[in-house]
Every structure is written in structure tokens, then in C-alpha cells.
Amino acid sequence: MLAIRPLAEPERLDVLVLPVRPIDPAAGGDASAELVPAAVTPPDGTTEEAAALVPAARLSGRAGEISTQLRPGLSPGRLVLLGIGDGGESSWRAAGAALARSAADETHITIALPAEVPPAAIRGLTEGLLLASYRFRLTDAGGPPALGSVDLLVADPAAHEDTIATARTTAAMTRLARDLTNTPSSVKTPQWFADQVTTVAADLPGLRLTVRGPAELAAEGFGGILAVGGGSASGPRLLEMEWHPADARTHVVLIGKGITFDTGGISIKPVPAMKLMRKDMAGAAAVVAATLGAAALRLPVRVTTLTPLAENMVSGSAFRPGDVIRHYGGTTSETTNSDAEGRLVLADALAYAVRQLKPDLIVDLATLTGANAVALGKRTAALYSENDDLAADVLAAVEAAGEAAWRMPLHSDYVEYLGSEIADLYSAPTQGAGSVTAALYLREFTGDLRDRWLHLDMSAPSWADGDQAELSRGATGWGVRSLLRWLAAVD
């Protein structure tokens, strides 16, 4: 990742970036934008030159707007005017992302930040720079961006070091989730995923990690995970990881769907719907990365993470439409669609969390339904909970993190669709709204913690079709930033 450091004096001035903000139209005048006064005075004449360029370039000051002026033979050699919008965290994040892409061919840039720059601005800028510069490639062709270091000119560098460190950890864990999700499924078996997490966790003191294989899952009764993973030569796993600091007052369980590839099973998907199914474990990647981030940041909250991992493949040992599955704890499900597999593995993890871990709160993330995108588009997750306070807290964290979610209803009149004549539940009803009925099915496994459970269907925002703001094409790592914000605020 980029090296980002706060400085009181510039050490090199190859490229100097000066922020620009909109002017309130009510203030009058012809200009629509202006330079923001810097905390550290730029070289002689630079401020005046930049001030003259703002109207000449017809800048509006919107977040992420960029204008570059070449200055051959002078220092700095390039002068970049960067729009920061309203100066809020999201605007600075967008500005940082735009700058990372615009300056990708540079090796070093210096940003003259405003006087009295708030921590939120520093965090947004740092996250934008680090996330937009992310690339995932399995070839050396093209290579990584040349940009290797960014200096932030501020009046008091020490005052911003903790904020930069927090933003850096958040971005690093988001990038980890992206790496895990982008990795092709020819490599990414359930055991491979567990091995990657084990390797990263080994560098963070205080983490406890257990991986259950097929034999342990069978002995303990994890029927949903075994059914979904039964058709693959790569057996299923259940990864359990715990961060338990001594000063923790609240115990949170995070659960993430970890289908490392989804063919749809016997209810096989068409090719266009199958080709990106390496992303069907993005929920598992998000909760694992958030837990690793909580340990790295030493957050004072106990977090236990469960990731049921399986490949949903087609073979003679694959589970069949119409099978009755016995989940952890004994509840049974009749399934007539093997492509509705994610809820089956999550049901096991939820039941285990309720019976054995007895947490204060449960949050699950899953690329669960295509209905998520139909209802809310490509950037927004669907949030379900019966707890108004929990829903409000998570939504606030999602917004602060620069991600998006929308609270959806848990319609009671859809519950009848879950009724089966031969089992306790029918896992994939054809009636009702697909994302809602999937959430209602999961709710059946929350037991006494029903009013302390929250579900995020994040199938749509887990993947980006192109570069946009801090998102790079491919896996987005959706949920890592939001969970870390929320965990940092949990009482």
C-alpha cells in the first residue's frame, strides 16, 4: 500500500496538491470555487498562481474534481488543484480516490491540507487514497500504480498519526477482503480460505482460531454445511475466530456466508450467472477482515466470527431438491432449490451461535439473493432487524464509512410461505419478495436472540463493474469499513 505520512515541512515537491472548495452562491461574485487556505504555506508564488488558475480552469470545487498545471523547470513541477466539496469525510474520501487515480503515474505527491483540518477529513482522504489505488492481478502485465508515497502537510503532524493509522488498518483489511473475494475458485477452496485467515491471524496477538473439517461437522450435527459442501471434492469447513480483550463488555457474533464457488448445485445456474460466483464468499471475507481489524486496532469489544465454508458443486453426492436437511440443533429444512444454499449454511452457524456462544448481538453478512439488486440496485445492501436501536446504529456506521444500506421490512404475512408438510421449514419459497423471505428463514434460527439479530444481504454491493470513487473494479470488500465503525462504537 501507499506510504502516507503527516509532515510540517515538505521534503520534496515533485507534485503539490492544493484543495479547492465551492463558494456559496449567496456570497456573491463571479467565481464558483476558491483555494482553501493551507496549514503550511506553499512555496513563494504558488498560492497566487493557483488562485489565478481556479477561475481560469472553471473549477466548481466539487469533490474529486482535478485540474493539473505543468510547471517545467520550477518546483513543484506539477500543481494539482483538488476539489473537496463540502469538506466532509465522504467528500475527502472521493477526493483522495480521484487523486490516487489521477496521480497513478507519479511516484510521490505532497498535499497541502487546510488549517484546522479535522480528523474525519484525514481519515476520508487516507481511505480514498489507499482504496482507490487497489489492484488485483494474477499477472505482472501492466504492473501496479507507480505512486508509492504521499506526504500530508499539516501544522501538527503528531496530532494526526492515530487517525492515519486507523484509516490505514481499515483500508488494509478492506483490501484483504477484496483479495480473498477476487481470488479464483480454482485456488479458493474452503481449506485455502481457512489457511489464509490462519496465516494473517498468526501475526495478531490475542486471536483464537478453530477450523472444523467434515468429520467434526458431522460429529456435531452441522447438517446444512455438510449438505451444501457434499457435492465437492473439496470438503466444507467451519472457521471460528475470537477476539476477546480483557476490557470487553459486549460480545458480538459476526457470521459470514462462505460459498467459495456456487454452481447452483443440481439446480444449476446459467453460465452468465455462474461466472462471478467466486464472489459468493464476500460475506465471510468481510466478517473475517473486520475481526482481524478489531484485533489490530485493539477494539474493546469481544468478537466471535463464524464463517461456514463450502463449494456448492454438481456430483453424485450433491444434495438434491426435495431433500430434508437437519441443521445444528435439530431444526429441519425442506429444500426444492439447491441454488438457495447460502441460507442453509448460515442457519447452522446461527443456531450454533445462539446455543453455544450466547452473545449479546448477532450480525450476519451474506451475498444471499439476486433480489437484493432488483430491489436496491448495485450499491446498496438490504438490512433486516427487529431491533430499532441496533438497526439505527449499524445504518449510522454504514453511512459514516461511506457504504450504503437500506432497512427492509420483515413482513409477518410472508412467514406462512416457510411452512413445509414434511419438515420444520421450507427453505426457498417461490412466493413473496426473495430477499425478505430469505431473511425470515434465517430469523427462524435466532431463537432467544431474535430481537438482537441483524442481517445484511449484500450480494449487490459486494462487486463493482468498474472503478467508481474508492471502489475498484471487482470485489469491493463491502462491509469491512462499516463493521469496524460499528464495532468501535459498541458499548
d(C-alpha 414, C-alpha 427), whole Å: 13
Residue carrying the nine cell digits 454491493: 461
Q: How many residues does the chain have?
A: 491
Assess whether 279 carries a catalytic annotation: no
Residues 341 and 438 sit within 8 Å (Cβ to Cβ) = no
Residues 9 and 152 sit within 8 Å (Cβ to Cβ) = no
Residues 208 and 220 sit within 8 Å (Cβ to Cβ) = no
d(C-alpha 309, C-alpha 133), whole Å: 29
- Written as nine digits, the cell of 257 is 456466508
Number of C-beta neighbours around residue 142 at 10 A: 8
Assess whether 269 carries a catalytic annotation: yes
Which candidate, 312, 298, 329, places its Cα nearest to that of 267? 312
Given the residues 12, 135, 269, 379, the one annotated as active site: 269
d(C-alpha 131, C-alpha 137), whole Å: 15
d(C-alpha 308, C-alpha 368), whole Å: 14
Given the residues 343, 443, 452, 481, the one annotated as active site: 343
Q: What DSSP letter does each residue of 247-283 carry, written as one string?
A: T---EEEEEE-EEEEE--TTSPPPHHHHTTGGGTTHH
**Stretch (H or E) spanning 285:** helix 282-296
State the pairing for strand pair 302-312/251-256.
parallel
Q: Which residues contact 455 (CB under 8 A, 6 or more apart)?
A: 363, 364, 366, 383, 384, 385, 439, 442, 443
Q: What DSSP letter does each residue of 393-452 carry, written as one string?
A: HHHHHHHHHT--EEE----GGGGGGG--SSSSEESS-SSS-HHHHHHHHHHTT-GGGGGG
State the pairing for strand pair 15-22/78-83.
parallel
- Tell me the β-bridge partners of 426: 334
State the pairing for strand pair 108-112/15-22.
parallel
What's the start-to-end Cα distance of the chain, in Å?
32
List residues with catalytic annotation.
269, 343
